[in-house]
Amino acid sequence: MTAVTPAPPSTAGAPAPADIAPGSRSGGRSRLRAAAGFAFGAALLFAVAPLALSDFRLALLAKYLCVAMVAVGIGIAWGRGGMLTLGQGVFFGLGGYAMAMHLKLADAGPGGMPDFMQLYGQLDELPVWWRPFASPWFALPATVLLPMAVAFGLGSLVFRRRVRGAYFAILSQALAAAMVILLIGQQGTTGGTNGLTDIQGFFGYDLDDPVNQRMVYFIIAGVLLALLALARQLIHSRYGELLVAVRDSEERVRFLGYDPASVKLVAYVVAAGMAGLAGALFVPAVGIISPALIGIVPSIEFVIGVAVGGRATLLGPVLGAVAVAWARTALSERFPGTWTYLQGLLFVVVVAFLPGGLASLWALARRRDAGPEQSRRGWPAPARRRASRAEAHR
Amino acid sequence: MTVLFGQLFTGISIGAVLLLIALGLALTFGQMNVINMAHGEFIMAGAYTTYVLQQSITGAGLSLLVALPVAFVVAGTMGVLLEILLIRRLYARPLDTLLVTWGVSLMLQQLARDVFGSPNVQTRAPELLTGNVAVPGGLTVANNRLFILALALAAVAALTLALRFTPLGRRIRAVVQNRDLAAVSGVPTARVDRTTFFLGSGLAGLAGVALTLLGPIGPTMGTNLIIDAFLVVVVGGIGQLKGSVIVAFALGVLQATGEYLTTLSVAKVIVFVAIVAFLQWRPQGLFTLRTRSLA
Amino acid sequence: MSVLWGRRILAGAMTLVAAAAMTACGSKTSDEGGAAGVTADVSGDTVKVGLLNSLSGTMAISEVTVRDSIMLAVEEINAAGGVLGKKIQPIGEDGASDWPTFAEKAEKLISEDRVAAVFGCWTSASRKAVKPVFEKNKALLFYPVQYEGLEQSPYIFYTGATTNQQIVPGLDYLKAQGTKSVYLVGSDYVFPRTANKIIKAYAAANGMTVVGEDYAPLGSTEFGTIVNKVKSSGAKAVFNTLNGDSNVAFFKEYKSAGLTAAAMPVVSVSIAEEEVKGIGTQYLEGQLTAWNYYQTTPGAANGKFVAAYKAKYGADKPTSDPMEAAYVSVYLWKAMVEKAGAFDVEKVRGVSDGITFDAPEGLVTVDGKTQHIAKTARIGKVGADGLITEVWNSGKPIAPDPYLKTYPWASGLS
């Protein structure tokens, strides 16, 4: 999988040949290496990790992999499409709640109601909008389609009106805040701040059983690999090229006769779907979904892993997300206060001084070996960045 | 009827708080295109300045008056440091300033926790500002709200005059309208950037002093306010102040009305929907600055 | 790029998932008898206990003080020879004010560190998040904070007050003062909403009227409208279930609007000595609180607790109800273990009924059936020095009743 290197983002300079067709240029060799990388990843996730890790650590890894799925989506929307979405928590939450609602109803049995509703809502019967979620045929597709529909609705409104850049980032952040307030306010039917907890079963399997927890892990690992394959496919398609073009110069793409709004919309919707799926799988892995997971802060934290790994690469976001989540667990066990400093420092150092993320270090190392042709594919040199400064100031 | 006027005044005073917070952002975000998420922590710095000053100056009224200029300088200096160390490198990447300054805000919060402790600290407000004045018609108006309204309006007036009539203001406007042209005409753009950032951050410090009269003084006090303030600048339109002023008061009244008729939670959602709808109508905000640079 | 390639990968992945899932089919939910609990590791000359509190994030402000008082109890017990001859080895974890993190750390303490008991959690949301973890592993949690009741887990001991030991006495006090109408103000989460439901049922049965009810999102600091509504409502008192920072903004607004403790007192259930410091006595003097313990509570046990706490953490640090409940919880666990003669969870639970402890708040007794604690309710008034002094108490410990079954007016509540 490591064969996929980013096209350089945002420069005002003329695009290098590598930007136009990274996939087709290297042809068969790249494909072979991708397949090899994929097999390696699968072996790692399916064979090495389950053998090497205790049940507890494997469950943690399952949680990290869910975060990594969100990161894949952010990599597409932000890294390739230039849309800094600070509201991915919303889609993560929609998917998570859809799944949790179904599992709660399944736990309660036919005709039953989730425990918290009687306690906090004093409802005598299930609210109308909960009912469809009793059926897995509705709930499962909804975990992906619901976030996609919301993203489509919001995206088609804002992209069409050319709301972009910082405006879009702040708006998506406000969306996360609004969603949290809305969820908490409807305590009787959503569980309020507690969220939906104490989920016992997953389609008939008892989640307390370590064997079933392992099964959930395998599903999550498999889905993550599938999402990566999908993302690679997308990035290397004509659409993928167009998306990068829109990121680098929306106006030029418009002049060429494309509609940048729909190009961005697709990436945004795909990212939302991935976040939704991640949320849905997070629920059986962790057994809880709550507003605390979808607000402004967790939404920004989704982004940090992507930035650390390398936003415009395929694998960078995944590795970055897992690494950051792991570091958080490992460090906060020892130095709780220090973690906050370190997290802040990560943001500052990586974004300000290493905008290509750790992946750009990799590219840098390869450039040494591979000579001048490869060097165009790294992050833009400082000189070129400065040239685009005036443009950014419009 | 009394309640209605009371609500109107509440709305206006919510607007004044928003305005005071957003004014600094209108400079740094509106004029310089820098999304400074640490703005909330500069507010916090202003509030803690008030607290520290009260440890040595016992008169509540006097310490508040002293705190205003001191907090302005403290927060402004922090802003300049931030500009020199980080933001200077990021002018070409406005989205990245958001992430970097968010990291800075995390660190500043933790720093405040380590220095002042996690619990909120208290300041004493002068007795004059904890009372209220009766307005004919049975309505009472809280003095601290009046003070903040006056402070916000004074800050707007001072800033407007400075931008319009001083050489510095002229330079700032020149850089905003056309950076390259300003540079070739001999305007030291880097220094202007720094000064603008000083002013914007200083205004956050001012807001911090005012907020000690209304809310908690603690490490996370800034984070709750910052998103609303950004929305004010986004909807107001970047590049000038009058948009932010109008939008701050409009959102304040909208929220107060919505809150009165429904609940605070619903009101917040209403405000968000209104903003998305408004941006459909005017995606560049209420007022846009027309310049001759390519857009 | 070939579409074929992607499809092949996708198909491969799906096969892998299917294969893995097939080989890993565990027990169904319908199967009887779940996984066996993890037994605590007590083989050495120490016994490990877990401390699970938020040391970072928004809840750190409160939870750090709880951690401090648990540590104080642990040190005192160790200095006096430990439990069953073993020294207590505390293992601290940071819940980071994030509910899934609480669940994760609870799992770690139980299955990796194999602790004998866990002390901690503050918010209801964090308790709800860890509850399944403790029940699954059959491990013990001691929860030290007043809460909204309506819960009774066999693996949790609740050492804070439930509603009938805090909210109901608060209402009794208001009723005795002749208060006929109240306004309810709370943060938008489980505790205030449940508390207000109870208050409304109480009011309906006791000739009080609830003239208004408002919720602010957690962390909200804009109270102009709510105070405006309170002021125009003509209520005789306010029952305040706001949490954290919101209290500061609420009381500053309250005073500016010209409302006073004399004319319209506010009864708060989440403001303890520590919070008083953060709000300022300028705004709080004369207002009422409902708790089971104050720093000023008389008695030798409290004198010793306050002195020890201040000696360890600083003279300016006040002690408060949740801190005291956390301190007590360690001693109660010690008493249970010693009575059982073992650290085994089921044995400890089995002997818990009737265990008493001469706590700083007065004598407390464990009720084995509900695993709550009989406590004396105390109404206090904030003084100019920032301390809270008692103005009324229930006279004797009130037996815990988390589902309010013994109160006829509450029959429709749970």
pLDDT in tens, B24-38: 998 888 778 888 999
Of the listed ranges C14-28, C267-281, C375-389, the one predicted with least confidence: C14-28
Quick one: pLDDT at residue B7? 86
Quick one: pLDDT at residue C212? 93
| Subunit contact B3:C232, Cβ cutoff 8 A | yes
Reduced to 3 states (helix: H, G, I; strand: E, B; else coil), residue A9 is coil
As a whole-number percent, the residues of chain A with pLDDT over 70 amount to 84
Quick one: pLDDT at residue B283? 80
Contacts of B32 (CB under 8 A, 6+ apart): B91, B176, B193, B196, B197, B200
Distance CA B104, CA A300 (A): 13
**Which of B35, B106, B107, B251 would best serve as a mutation to test chain A binding (most A beta carbons within 10 A)?**
B106
Of B1 and B246, the structure prediction assigns the larger pLDDT to B246
Nearest to A281 by CA among A84, A61, A8: A61
- Taken in order of first residue, the domains within chain C and their CATH numbers are 40-143+298-360 (3.40.50.2300), 163-296+377-410 (3.40.50.2300)
Neighbour tally for C136: CB within 10 Å: 23
Determine the distance in angstroms separating the CA of A337 from the nearest CA of chain B, rounded to an integer.
7
Statement: residue A205 has pLDDT above 90: no
Asked if residues B208 and B143 have their Cβ atoms less than 8 Å apart, the reply is no
Chain segment C51-62, per-residue pLDDT in tens: 999 887 777 778
The dihedral built from the CA positions of residue C329, C331, C336 and C341, taken in this order, carries a sign that is positive
Where b means 16+ CB within 10 Å and e means fewer, B32-63 reads: bbbbbbbbbbbbbbbbbbbbbbbeeeeebeeb
Distance CA A325, CA A309 (A): 12
Q: pLDDT averaged over chain A?
A: 82
Quick one: pLDDT at residue A354? 87
- What's the pLDDT band for A371 if we cut at 50, 70, 90? very low
- A-chain CB neighbours of B90 within 8 Å are 352
Distance CA C165, CA C291 (A): 8
Distance CA B24, CA B8 (A): 25
List of E strands, chain B = 132-135, 139-142
| CA torsion, ordered B214, B219, B224, B228, to nearest 10 deg | 80
Half-sphere exposure of A309 (CA within 13 A, CB side): 28
Quick one: pLDDT at residue A346? 87
Chain segment C333-370, per-residue pLDDT in tens: 999 999 999 999 999 999 999 999 999 999 999 999 99
Determine the distance in angstroms separating the CA of A74 from the nearest CA of chain B, rounded to an integer.
14
- A-chain CB neighbours of C120 within 8 Å are none
Quick one: pLDDT at residue C89? 94
| Subunit contact C107:A59, Cβ cutoff 8 A | yes
**Which of C128, C137, C220, C243 would best serve as a mutation to test chain A binding (most A beta carbons within 10 A)?**
C128
Contacts of A26 (CB under 8 A, 6+ apart): A3
Q: Which of C2, C97, C107 sits opposite A56 (nearest CB)?
A: C107
Statement: residue A11 has pLDDT above 50: no
Where b means 16+ CB within 10 Å and e means fewer, A178-193 reads: bbbbbbbbebbbbbbb
Domain boundaries, chain B: 23-220
Per-residue pLDDT, averaged over C186-193, amounts to: 87
CA–CA distances in Å: residue C230 to residues A332, B9, C234, C269, C281? 43, 16, 7, 18, 21
Chains A and B form CB pairs within 8 A to the count of 137
Chain segment B135-180, per-residue pLDDT in tens: 776 778 889 999 999 999 999 999 999 999 999 999 988 888 888 8
Q: How many residues does chain C have?
A: 414
Distance CA C179, CA B293 (A): 68
For residue B65, give the amino acid letter: L
Distance CA B241, CA C344 (A): 68
- C-chain CB neighbours of B113 within 8 Å are 60
Where b means 16+ CB within 10 Å and e means fewer, C222-249 reads: bbbbbbbbbbebebbbbbbbbbbbbbbb
Chains that touch A (3 or more CB pairs under 8 A): B, C
Neighbour tally for C18: CB within 10 Å: 13
- B-chain CB neighbours of C248 within 8 Å are 120, 215-217
Statement: residue C239 has pLDDT above 50: yes
Domain boundaries, chain A: 34-294
> How close are the terminal C-alpha atoms of chain A, in Å?
38
* Whether the predicted interface score ipTM is above 0.85: yes
Alpha helices in chain A (DSSP H): 17-20, 22-43, 49-52, 55-74, 88-108, 115-116, 136-160, 166-185, 187-190, 210-235, 238-248, 250-255, 260-286, 296-309, 316-334, 336-353, 358-370, 372-375, 382-387, 389-392
Quick one: pLDDT at residue B3? 76
- What's the pLDDT band for A260 if we cut at 50, 70, 90? very high
Alpha helices in C280-352 (DSSP H): 281-284, 300-313, 321-340, 345-350
Quick one: pLDDT at residue B23? 92
- What's the pLDDT band for C26 if we cut at 50, 70, 90? low
pTM of the model: 0.87
Distance CA B79, CA A357 (A): 26
Nearest to B162 by CA among B11, B29, B2, B27: B27
Quick one: pLDDT at residue B153? 95
As a whole-number percent, the residues of chain C with pLDDT over 70 amount to 91
Reduced to 3 states (helix: H, G, I; strand: E, B; else coil), residue A382 is helix
Reduced to 3 states (helix: H, G, I; strand: E, B; else coil), residue C135 is helix
Statement: residue B40 has pLDDT above 80: yes
Distance CA A281, CA A274 (A): 11
- A-chain CB neighbours of B293 within 8 Å are 390, 393-394
